[in-house]
Structure 1
């Protein structure tokens, strides 16, 4: 019903091309304009010029602003609601958001502590109370907006639009996952680790897409993504990561692209899907992931109202 519910409303499918087209155009331009540029060195220069927190805000605030653009476009151009863009339920289930956020936050904290004690030589304590406090405030303000923009663009706006256009579920799942991965191609991590890390980004997009389709809503993906970026940024930074932060720890190890990149995709994400499936009693996986978008019966339309 997450995609099907839109069939009640007369939506011009062409309107789903505007924002993705503009955003993808900006990504392509950014990639071409930075090709051959040492993005890690560029980040260091930027940090020297406006500081760590200034660089963080400069990188994150445009994406936070784009969330407002997506929501405005959805409301006033497509005459839709945030609720329909977010979920097939009668209202947004914030318990789902917080459960997903808490589960991934706990996992991130535990694995960070284990990594620190297993290889303390790979880290230095980066904790500076005053700077960390300022960063916490900035991160809480901006990171959820940044991650929500990516979710509302890829797993909501684009996934719903492609679902309506193709009458399928697997096509929007694959396409949005691929584009989500490609969005990160200009990240400093790609320069440092190579193109193999794109498997992680695309795999993460696939995981978040499966969450959305199986749960018939965006809540679990919103919680996971916010926890991944927010808690990760608060705990660990490095000289070669996209987020330069006043975190508690700094990773000083020499990064390398090895089998560890595939552990989340092949092991951790499937375990999380199993946990969510048990908790929320998911069933009919084949239909929800690979089925067609079928017309909704008239009686089903009656239960779908614009907020």
Structure 2
């Protein structure tokens, strides 16, 4: 085991684990948000308006929806670059060591996990559509849909990698350093991950206590995957597949991703979505556990190792 144990070596002052994520998100939302800010200014000057109920909906500015997606994802690219540049001087640790404690990335795990979650998501959408076809509106526009596929595949992984590096990688290592408890490694970053999404339009539309469990459980599942697999590649892959799938295939009025997706869901049921997500989470854990021969007993073992 090397992923969590890597945090027991090198400079690891507690304030760095608080400051570095703040700096990374600040870089994303200042420097990274410059193109978006310019688009908003030009749009409003030309008579456009922002949606007060959904900051991700830029249609009122007259922007192409695929351009809007790119502008909303671009800050995460800049935030990711900022995180990588600051990490080394802060902790004498490379980004690869945040991913799994070594100097190499297990890309096979990333793509396998992404494929498994994409299949599970497709099956869940098929089942729900079969049961509730009247809630779905076909939204196919080839001139928008084809570019959407390419933009989603190329850009969204930067957003999800940024979040996974910070929560399932960096903060998880910080929790391991200070608590030595693998359950807390999975749980505490999951809560922080959930609270990060507190201003998402879904929370405003359906209520904090209805939506927040979805984000926290989602984060907890990714955290368990990282602990069990001794690295975050499977979590990175599943997270990327989830957001890409949603971007391409399904959107809703209150969705933070307002894309020209294949379907529009006009009757979102957060409770049903939570049940579907829980089933999907169990399935992916079982599939990956069998594939990679995970030992669940590791969850009860303390993070041990000698400091430098």
TMscore range, shorter length? 0.7 to 0.9
> Which residue pairs with 1:233 in the alignment?
247
- Please say if residues 126 and 247 of structure 1, whose CA atoms lie closer than 8 Å, have aligned partners that are also in contact: yes
RMSD, aligned CA: 2.6
* 1:292 and 2:306 aligned: no
Query: Do structure 1's residue 190 and structure 2's residue 203 form an aligned pair?
Result: yes
Q: Match of 1:210?
A: 224
After TM superposition, the runs of 4+ consecutive aligned structure 1 residues lying more than 6 A away are 23-27
1:258-277 to structure 2, matched below 5 A, reads 258-265=271-278, 267-277=279-289
Q: What's the CA shift for 1:293? A: 2.1
Q: 1:23 & 1:139 partners in 2: Cα distance?
A: 22
Give 1:89 deviation, angstroms. 5.1
Cα distance in 2 for residues equivalent to 1:292 and 1:25: 34
* Aligned equivalent of 1:7: 8
CA distance in 2, matches of 1:158, 1:25: 17
Residue 23 of structure 1, CA deviation? 6.4
Distance verdict in 2 for CA 1:59–1:183, change over 3 Å: same
Give the equivalent residue in structure 1 for 2:17.
Answer: 16
TM-aligned CA distance change 1:235 to 1:4, over 3 Å: same
Q: Secondary structure at the match of 1:292?
A: coil
Answer yes or no: is 1:105 the counterpart of 2:105.
Answer: no
Question: Could you tell me which residue of structure 2 aligns to residue 304 of structure 1?
Answer: none
- Identify unmatched segments of 5+ residues in structure 1: 28-36, 302-307
User: Which whole-Å CA distance do the structure 1 matches of 2:121 and 2:269 have between them?
Assistant: 20
Q: How many residues align?
A: 284
What 5-or-longer segments of structure 2 have no aligned partner? 29-49
Query: How far 1:166 sits from its partner (Å)?
Result: 2.6
Residue in structure 1 matching 2:291, options 269, 279, 287:
279
* Alpha-carbon distance, 1:129 to partner: 1.1
Asked if the contact 2:54–2:201 (Cα under 8 Å) also holds between the matched residues in 1, the reply is no
Deviations 1:236-279 (A, max 9, x none): 112210100011111122x23435423423x3312321221111
- TM-score w.r.t. the length of structure 2 is 0.83
Q: C-alpha displacement at 1:291, in angstroms? A: 3.0
CA contact (8 A) 2:106 2:233 kept: yes
From the superposition, tell whether residues 252 and 164 of structure 1 become closer, same or farther in structure 2 (CA, over 3 Å): same
Q: In the alignment, is the contact (CA less than 8 A) between 1:89 and 1:217 conserved in 2?
A: no
